[in-house]
Structure 1
Amino acid sequence: MSEKTKKSGLGQEILTLLKSNIREYMMYIALILIMGFFTVKTSGGFIQARNLANLVNQAGYVAILAIGMTIILILKHIDLSVGYVAGFSGAVAAVLMTKHGMNEWIAILAVLVMGLLIGVYQGLLVTKMGVPAFVTTLAGMFIFRGLLNLTLQETGTIIIPNKSFNELSNGFVPDIPAGTSFHLLTMLIGAAAVILLIFLQVKTRKNKQKYQFHVMSMPIFTVKLVCLSAIIMVIVYVLASYNGIPWTAVIVGVVLFVYNYMLNKTRLGRYIYGIGGNEQAAELSGINVKKVTLMAFCSMSTLAALAGILYTSRLQSATPTAGLGFELDAIASSYIGGVAVSGGIGRVTNTIIGALVIMSLTNGMNLMGVDISYQYIVKGIIFIIAVAFDVKTRQKGR
């Protein structure tokens, strides 16, 4: 094969990959463009290590909510209560620690259990009583907003003095040789992440070849791995030049790993996609639709409680306004991340990118001093463009 023919073949393959994965690639392109725009507009301030660490901490609670919301949306339901479930959970944690002197870790566990029970309550209303999820969770939004206000009625904003609790969203993973100016452990973690990425990608490619599935050519596959590895190491290097990896990133990473594994490697994950694709067919095939749906609502409310803990930890206080608009950011992140409006399609890994898009917009506009009113308008425009693009590309795919 001539050199010209090889180049032509590679070019055609790249075009085919772009066309078949345009929805997913556009999401990454949008994130890069947004970050690049704000880097220029803030004279490099957006991309500084301190701001990147702040962005991770800001995006943490939204990412946690969006992961749970992705499962709900795949099942063609919705949960509007998550914002005030998060706010109420943070307030309960603050009261337990400050008013009752409870250990922070016991308080966190108690709040997570409370979140689970909230999920059981709302899930049973949807699955056993047949109340639509929209109505159930809209009522929940009012209920938990009221409970949040009642919890803080006497004290108002509660300042949390517990250092370990506040470190969850303000602290960083400690370095190996404490006291050095460059965070060595962060670089080692980054190198390990790159090695793991390469291993998993190569393993996935070999498995596809084994079962005679189509795979990208070796040159394009190599370029893809090099680019992904470079992006990881650049981010890691920037963080290592500051204080290293925030604990928020570790918590989000663990939740992401668990849910990604569940969706892609377990029977429960296949059930979720099956129900979202065709609920009647899933039920006829023997899947317990009500049980899976109940599990999804339990999962969502537990993650909402965790998100409330992270948000309260970041502010180092519980406030009556906590939870306002959280559900909107979570839903927008999920749809920007590629969850189909019709249900049955979505990936939690892409949802994280959606959360970064939303929070990068917020962070960048805050740095530029943009009025909050315009921030809402911009986020709304980005959201509708993403969903409209998703609908159109899926229609063409059919």
Structure 2
Amino acid sequence: MESLKNMFKDNIKQYSMVIALAVIMLFFQVISGGTLLKPLNITNLILQNSYILILAIGMLLVIVAFHIDLSVGSTAAFIGAVSAILIINMHVNFILGIAIALVIGAVIGAWQGFWIAYVKIPAFIVTLAGMLIFRGITMVALDGTSIAPYPQGFQKISSGFIPDFFHGNGMHITTILIGIIFSLVYVIFEVRKRNDQKKYNFTTIPQSLLILKIAGIVAVINAFTFTLAQYKGIPNVLVLLFALIAIYTFVTTKTVIGRHIYALGGSEKAARLSGVKTKRITFLVFINMGILAALSGIVFAARLNAATPNAGQNFELDAIAACFIGGASASGGKGTIMGAIIGGLVMGVMNNGMSLMGIGIDWQQAIKGLVLLLAVAFDVYSKSKNA
């Protein structure tokens, strides 16, 4: 019992958000008469929130480094416009067009990172200026109109699915097998992690709790893949999201640059005195944010099958909210990739559930604002209690 208490205490923000996500999903599942967790709706949830989750991954690193980026929505819109001009108007191969768009996103990130890291202008001001600049350039580039349609290959980024190699009748067998494989990989990972902890005499949770944890997560993985298998299987964009989550989780937890980002957010002066090249880290964080904003804009354009002047509206607010709701600290130095993803899912499920209930967009915005305020208040309260 003591181990359970300590485990929950050490990870209270993440566990509380996982519990909150489960409760919210259960609530809307009951209220919507079972519509929320239907295969089609689950797939739509993934497709509708994929670009926000991509932004949340990049925004998490920005917030951990104790900065903010208000320009990501406008950057996503601008990159969408660039991709449309290249691929649709100029007939550039869509793969080359995507590569060029990502490079432009990196350049935008480098531009903003230079002013923030080396000129020392606050990120709020630089990215606010960026939000206005790139929104205006988007309007000019598109001349106030939409450009469409994209080629089929480009559209499949957001609308495509992994093919079923076993040609199941009414059930996507490949998706079910992927769920089983991931379950096995997860079990092996947890067992090896526990063995390593015991080898170095680290504190471990009781075996019974570990089995309960593994059983619960394996059940969730297979229930999720089974649900997707009843529709069209795993969307391509979910594969992209999983790859990004895996890569950035590894970077933030297992690499030197990841530790330096957290050190920078914890205390820039202490990090600099410890040998961390704080200016370079800040510069790289914003380059990374520019690339992920560009990727988000590409995914959104592929979903709409068009580049529109109003694309990316409020994306930055949703990404920032996802990070704070998922446990990122408003004072920097704290937060996880999975926390940001969970925060984004909380926002996405709330949006979807309230839409199913017929709640208007005005009330949806008000409720989301209240949830964000409570999440940050919880963070402040937790810090004051531990001080």
For Structure 1 versus Structure 2, the TM-score category normalised by the shorter chain is: over 0.9
Go from structure 1 to structure 2 and tell me whether the alpha carbon gap of 1:284 and 1:161 turns closer, same or farther (over 3 Å shift).
closer
Q: Return the letter of the residue paired with 1:76.
A: F
Q: Deviations over 1:186-224 (max 9, x none)?
A: 111111111111122222222222222211100011100
Residue in structure 2 matched with residue 124 of structure 1 by the alignment = 114
Which amino acid in the other structure matches residue 67 of structure 2?
Answer: H
Task: Name the SS of the counterpart of 2:341 in structure 1.
Answer: helix
Q: Corresponding residue for 1:143?
A: 133
Q: CA RMSD in A?
A: 1.2
- Show the 5 A alignment for 1:54-69: 54-69=44-59
Over 3 Å counting, the alpha-carbon distance change for 1:133 and 1:165 in structure 2 is same
Alignment of 1:82-231 (within 5 A): 82-153=72-143, 156-178=145-167, 180-231=169-220
Cα distance in structure 2, aligned partners of 1:317 and 1:152:
11
How far, CA to CA, are the matches of 1:276 and 1:305 in structure 2?
Answer: 24
Give the deviation of 1:177 after TM superposition.
2.3
1-side partners of 2:35 and 2:321: how far apart? 26
Determine if the alignment matches structure 1 residue 20 to structure 2 residue 10. Answer: yes
Structure 2 CA distance for aligned equivalents of residues 285 and 90 of structure 1: 41
Q: Say whether 1:325 aligns with 2:314.
A: yes
Aligned to 2:335: 346
What is the CA deviation profile of residues 32-88 of structure 1, one whole-angstrom value per residue up to 9, with x for unaligned ones?
111111111111111100010010011110011000000000010111000110011
> 2: distance between equivalents of 1:12 and 1:77?
37
Deviation at 1:168, TM superposition (A): 0.9
Aligned residue number for residue 3 of structure 1: none
| Deviations, residues 138-191 of structure 1 (Å, cap 9, x unaligned) | 00000010011111116x112224111111111111111236321111111111
AA in 1 matched with 2:356: L
Equivalent residue number for residue 282 of structure 1: 271
Is the deviation greater in 275-284 or in 11-20?
Answer: 11-20
Query: Greater shift after overlay, 371-380 or 93-102?
Result: 93-102
In structure 2, what is the Cα distance between the partners aligned to 1:95 and 1:180? 41
DSSP 3-state at the match of 1:198: helix
Amino acid in structure 1 at the alignment position of 2:300: Y
Taking structure 1 as reference, are residues 207 and 358 closer, same or farther at Cα in structure 2, changes over 3 Å only? Answer: same
Relative to the length of structure 2, the TM-score reads 0.97
2:305 maps to 316
Query: In structure 1, what residue type is equivalent to 2:177?
Result: L
Question: Which residue in 2 is equivalent to 1:355?
Answer: 344
Matching residue of 2:285: 296
> Cα gap change, 1:48/1:385 in structure 2, threshold over 3 Å: closer, same or farther?
same
Alpha-carbon distance between aligned partners in 1 of 2:273 and 2:332, rounded to the nearest angstrom: 19
Task: Describe the SS at the equivalent of 2:68.
Answer: coil
Helix, strand or coil at the partner of 1:207? helix
- Which amino acid counterpart does residue 22 of structure 1 have in structure 2? I
1:75 to 65, 82, 95: 65
In the superposition, the TM-score normalised over structure 1's length comes to 0.95
Which one is further off, 11-20 or 50-59? 11-20
Residue identity matched to 2:313: L
